[in-house]
Structure 1
Amino acid sequence: MAPQRRAGAGAEAELPEYAGHYRLESLLGSGGMGMVHLARSTSGLKLAVKVVHAEFARDREFRGRFRQEVAAARRVSGAFTAPVVDADPEAERPWMATLFIPGPTLAEQVKRNGPMTPAQLRRLMAGLAEALRDIHRVGVVHRDLKPSNVLLAEDGPKVIDFGISRPSDSELRTETGKLIGTPPFMAPEQFRRPREVGPAADVFALGSVVVHAATGRGPFDSDSPYVVAYQVVHDEPDLTGIPQELAPLVLRCLAKEPEDRPTPDELMRELRSVAASYDTQAFIPAQRTGAEAAPPPSPRQPRRPPRKRLTRGALVAGAALVLAASGAASVHLAGPDGDPPAKTPAPAPSAAFGAWEAKPASGEGGMPHCSRGTDELLCARRDAVFALDPTDGGLRWRHTTSDRTVSRPPVVSGGTVQTSTAEDGLVEGLDPASGTPVWRRDVPEGGAVRYAGDTLLLTGADGTVTGVDGSSGATKWNRSLPGHGGTPLASFAADPLAYATSTSPDGTHTRLTAVDPDTGALRWDVRLEGALQAVGAGGGSVFLLSGDPRDGTTTGLVRYSPRSGTSLRVPLPVPRHDVRATVRGNVVHLLAQGGSLEAVDLEARKRVWHLETGISHGSAPVSDGRHVYVTAPDGRLLAVDARSGRLLGQTAPRLGAAADRVVASLPEPVVAEGRVYASAPDGTVFAVDGREPADW
């Protein structure tokens, strides 16, 4: 292929002029694996020609995947896909030519024109069901159905891009140890059992695509693909904005288990009962022909709701394990189409769930500290770690640490349950199925233990930080962080980095450093005004408490955005002592000494509500977007409306024999799947339905 010059830097500045005997006229788009050009056949037929990037053309494994893509696309060519006209997977730059289909992708359509009407949604859903029936009929699973892979033609939707599809009789498998796809449109089994993905995964993706078309967002949404992975596997979908007549069918498509989802044929039958005939209105208000026509005007988009975030309690025990449980050695997660925010869904526990309480450890030992694993509640109390059934509190396994006192909740990292003990500075990695020790690791004297995804971060008193592989306990990297001494790093649910903060002796400035926990590489380093402490990160920003180091008060909040290098500061109306804080979206919830609970919206730059709870001190607050939960020293669990700050309900005290003792550190509640798990001084671990706190 003779090269064709194009302005721009990089390897693709020199573009091919021909693919086979097809002259490439203009660039239609570019993706991670190749570029798509508009071309014409000798007879003048318009074609879309995909040419593989030069770097992948030299990769034998990728060539095998491209041959599979061509084979899959040829098998399903028909009324619901772009027919393959010609291809050469063995060329110096492999290429494939398909019939050019005028019209935007669904992603482009929603971005430019907003959500679809109910009639358009019915037609889209029916068209995609027909397309999947056609694809599955020839033994192919697409595995990457998403808005950017759906073309909106005048005669109905067309499914394109079979780059990671897999024929059922193919011996070529997805790269060992990798998950490939787009998290908001992947089915739970694509994270849990990626080598066992069947046609039902495409039906799950269809449900997600319909939600995107109806609302401009997905049913699961976050800035972090790891958090989305957790939501897909564990959380209920957010169907706010879906037409009432379609919502039950979409919900069935998004069932967690493949066998609970309808087949494409069942979808079409049920859609016929929803509407006797489908609206024949075209998908697009103004037809667009590739690069030849100007895009239609963009109407004003509806006001976007706050972004959905996972609580910190769900972070380590969930997001990391979702990916680790697949046995993946490395993970490739493509980003979602566009950047649509999501509303917080109403939690929906299983109908079989009922409130329960359990005492998994006998005798004295204080309040159990708990976190959520993949399908268990993990707790530690004094000299034991145990796993409970989250449905009824039944004991699954127990691991005794002898005379070593466990100092924090168990954490899932790298597929193992990890515990750290205070006296002898020991970290253990346990088998999540049995509690049997897998590995042990000493902590440097005077050091600190923190976790970030699949990496354990050990900080020594001399400031040396060691990154430890969570699955094996082996050292991944070791380095010093200039200017930070022995400051432990902090990590947060919606952000892949870890952060170190060190305040100058006079309290005039703080050094904030971002570290890649997987490699130890420094991503950025900045000096900010004032005495600051990192309490959250996500959405491209780091959230910090600002205070006076002389008396330990918190006087305000700071949001630092490293991309722009800017800081937003919001003062508190009244300085607060001994503050514990959590971040959800752009809202920071703070609980101070004396029980003052407040919410500060940094986007609005103001405190939005304040409540005096009356408790002397409490746990760090936890929010699921609808409620804010706090544990009191007497074992009560309080629920507050996240929008108004009104107290909605509380559980009974559970003091036991330790009524005259003050608990130094209160474990924060754990929120998962619409349930709230908490513990009390009498050793009780209990669970309540998070939907109606007034019934507690």
Structure 2
Amino acid sequence: MPPLHGFGPGQEAEHPEYAGRYRLESCLGAGGMGVVHLATSASGLRLAIKVVHAKYASDPEFRARFRQEVNAARRVSGAFTAPVVDADPDAELPWMATLFIPGPTLYEQVKRNGALQPDEVRGLGAGLAEALRDIHRAGVVHRDLKPSNVLLASDGPKVIDFGISRPSDSELHTETGKLIGSPPFMAPEQFQRPREVGPAADVFAMGAVLAHAARGRGPFDSDSPYIVAYQVVHDEPDLEGVPDDLVPLVQRCLAKDPAERPTAAEVTEILRHPVPGLPFHVPGRRRVPEEEHTEGGTARSDGGPAPVPGPYGPPARTAGPAVRRPEEEPGGEPAGGAAQEEHGDGPAAGSPARTTAASVRGALRRRVPAVLGGALALAVMGGVGVWALSAEEPPSRTAAARTGTGPSGASKSWAASLGDGPPPWCAAGPDDALYCSVTGVTAVRLDPADGRIVWENRGKDGSSDGADGTVVSDAPLSSGGLLHVTVGGRLKALDPRTGKVRWDLDVSAYASVAHSADTTLLVGAGGSVRALDSATGERRWDAAVGGLGTQWIGGTGGTGGAGGSGTFYAVTPDDDGSASDVSAVSEETGEVLWTERAEGNLVPFAAPDGALYSLSLNLSQTADAVVRLDTRERRVRRVPLAIGLDGAQAAESGGIVYVSGTGGALVAVDTRADAAGADRELWRLQTSVATPSRPAVSGGTVHLLAPDGRLLAADARTGKPLGQTRPRLGGSTDTLVAALPAPVVRDGRVYGSAPDGSVFAVDAGAPDTW
């Protein structure tokens, strides 16, 4: 599935209770086009059900492409693919059910454990070749084979995700100039002649996947997709680390000319005799020698892996040499690297990145236009860091509430369980209490001092009984003196003192809901919008602003000029994504106060007094710039990102924007013009977190949550890592979530949410003690 491009908590993920006759049990993951749920058939089969997002379900062309995906997946169901069990592309929310295959993706396996052994690479190659042979025999071209689309099951590798595959007899063709695929694993013809892509492109991708498996990184690696594109088309692959006997085969697969590549059937013949007794093997987790010590000073007695303290938490107490921070490595270069999230398949950990910005600019000016038909200008980064994480995860602890004492003597740390997962979504209210929502619980109020539950609302009637199990993917929000929660297609307004429902409304017909301090907007799909009084739920006004794709965000004051005490902003991108119209709308009357035009497909994320901040997306939905619109003087300031970010999410503090992206990058961008009028990227940190949460900034520190429940902290001024907590996966170590809630920072504490269903608090002023 394509990467999730969510900007803000859960704004793209729908969570219906059923798909056809299948009850959806939990969320396995999400992509830009849909959410994958776990389900069980009547006969007991475990299923993975992909449900399309509502905003795409209304697009006839997308329905046609989804129907094509279903047909392609059905045509290729076999021993090395996930068989299709059922599907309904004509449902209100189209869906497809395949057999659930337990096991990590190849990307996850390599990231956690390093390169596969030579015999394992051969077994992987044999399985992939046979899968592609069957896929091609069915007349289908996958076009997006990559490590994250290869599941390592106990009986061999499985190829998944036919979302952009193309049957040879399909009437749907790639649009001219549109690139589809993941650059490090795309064949040269996918960049040069995308309408002519055939089975040979899948063979090229297989060669790149085998190289990735054998050496821990791909044969064409760079942080920039533009540089990768140039390397794929013009440069020879880097195959250092590939077993000698496999190099000739991988080289043939990676031939620039499709005619020179072997067919999948030929590769099957070459690899048809795997090592006896080892048809395929998924390596186990790396273990630390038992003589090494844990953070408590002793090895685990249960035989499990001892945790390795990270270089940014408490000092490592091991028998070996001290762990260096990146800035302490010999030669002054950061050690290690950041592995891209499984949907991105970018540079893996340890991949070299020594190309200077100047040499990149020169090479791109001269040559990249021949590849992509456009030039790319790279800004010089103010600083680059790498967040080296431990190779092991400490054993999970119980989720019962506990407290600790910070350096000041005040109780700072605690943990409280709100269920078995997924992570709760939390926010601090104006009364400083902590409010959370989690699957099966509409809302719960926690005492921020110790995590004690003050009240909880579990039922549709506002009582604490009868939890309906509805999946929650957003935090409660304070508006009009009440607590607003959108769950199960209904907007509920709760009394923050008691948790009782004051009013609720069916909002399932609306595309989204937006809030300001006193007003709630119900946004329709075609530009219609209705404003409600947040305190009473009564209608204030109706208007038509923007159109399909318009996104709304509430301002924090009278930033739009005369005409109202508050302002909403509506951002509407052009059909081609080249520019967007930004309109300021009066909160009181719905009147459009002004409209400004800005370059790029803009996604707003913050509207403090006097400014509107947005991320600009390119045609591949990668964030390539931060845009600040002065809402008083209406000046637009665009600050390009040196390297684009997939799945970008952002937060702003004092005119500086902090952007996180899949693959682990965290970037600080100064949108304030200096004396020379030059905005710039201040620093870039590689956190090694595949899919981080949206950042939270407070007190000079940037905080992020990781999918395994770790909370990380970095210096907001320099990007220097400051500390991280332990993982909190609970009993489900393979837990996947559609989107991660952001941390909450308030009154000297940082509150995080974890996949084990817990909420925890730590001392914001002492990340080195976490």
Q: TM-score per shorter chain, which class?
A: 0.3 to 0.5
Length-normalised TM-score, structure 1? 0.48
Name which one, 1 or 2, has greater alpha-carbon Rg: 1
